[in-house]
Structure 1
Amino acid sequence: MDSLFGDDFDEPGPPRTPFDTPALPVRELREHPLAPADHAAWPATLAPIRQVLRDGLELGPITVLTGDNGAGKSTLVEALAGAFGLNPEGGGTGAMHATRRTESPLVEHLQLVRGAGAPRSGFFLRAETMHSLFTYYEEIGVGGMMHERSHGESFLALVEERSRIRGLWLLDEPESALSLSGCLALLALLQGIADAGSQIVLSTHSPVLAALPDADLYELGEWGLRRAGYDDLDLVRTWRSFLEAPERFLRHPG
């Protein structure tokens, strides 16, 4: 899915040497100068989205987005996927499956700044459309009979099988399919994908996945979008508080 006036451009930089860090598939998200969004209409009414449109968002090799439901994490990741040319329902660059269109119009107003010479391939995994993605891959003969395994097993097998893809990896709340041990397994797979040179953008409610090494952590909320250390994330502090004394969070009758 492309923006109205072209989704991106390659920003020139100084000549690279063999010792330079590989160029990132996406260096920055910006509001498209030729297709500005209506900041009084959803999703620009969400403070984090409005902030990205107003100020842009630079992306490093690994970016993790956290925040409550409705903060704008999935909206941002989905729009990034569409602007990059990935199927908004998940899969690789050439995935063609579709069920019901629910994407926000944000993709039409984004411009991507890409690293010169960076890969243009990628992969997008989102929890809410995994069933349809598994069905699509079974229909085209990829990955075996994915529905015959548990959701989590199929999810991890798909990530492992696709880990050879070099480029932009987007994951939207992947913990929905996974147990704690599954999250730890995914963490190891993602670290290997990042070490092999891919860029990762991940939205999550999981303190396990938020611990992805060397990630830039962002917290989304009514304040907008802000950088945070791991121990300062509301997500981490709330989970720690619950595990220390679950009874404080539970209501008992009578």
Structure 2
Amino acid sequence: MVLGLLSEIIGYAGRIISWQNQWSENGFLMQICCLTIGPAFLAAGIYLCIRRIVFAFGPENSRIPPKFYTRIFIPCDIVSLVLQAAGGGMASVAFHTGKSTDTGDNIMIAGLSFQVVTLLVFMVLSLDFFVNTTRRRRALGSEAAFSQDPEIVAVRKSLMFKGFLIALALSTICIFWRSVFRVAELSRGWTGPLMARQDLFIGFEGVLITIAVWVLNVFHPALSFGALMDRKFGDGVNTGDRKNGNEKFEMTTDAKPITATSSSDIGDV
């Protein structure tokens, strides 16, 4: 998150330089490169938060084990970041030598598009987890559906954690929306109509990134997760240890929760 914010600050410093002198090459390159790659760092911070959320509500409600949220999405974010940085570097070199920047531009667009796809998949999986969790709670009740570990229960009931869930969702949507706009903006080239729209840039870049950052500062993970911040979790999917030690739950292939089964019936199952 810090790297993302630094990129945004440098990028807007470049915009101020360009405002003072629209022919400033340094200002132009600062804003194009830094404002393009900044949200990739912010997205990585979001990916790191989902794992503890999954543990708080039950890994069995997730389509993938909690460990894979970071193992899949962080590398994808790095790939996106590398493509955007490489494309920006190639475009900069081409600009300095008087050659066409099309190749670098296309690589940047590819990196941004990959980031959009990654965010979209992440949002779909998160929504699926929310739906599965809601189904389980309605079918079994809160006490049977969720872990009754006192620390986890305290976190789930806290206003900060509830606010954090909303803030994280809002931040994700803002970064996704901003990334989609950036793809549309760059796809029309440096002289395209969207590049000349300051109002759209402020609305779909500046405002969205500001919201994404501020809500996660108000509902900071270190405050919202409480005891879960320092809690060590296993990587396996927890299929038991609910209200009392003898209940087991499973999620069927269609993600619909089934009723609790006591340990005495497990053999029959």
Same fold (TM over 0.5): no
**If each structure's helix is expressed as a fraction of its own residues, which one has the higher value?**
2
Measured against the shorter chain, the TM-score band is: under 0.3
Instruction: Say which one has the larger Rg.
Output: 2
> Which structure carries more relative contact order (alpha carbon 8 Å, separation 6+)?
1
Higher strand fraction (1 or 2):
1
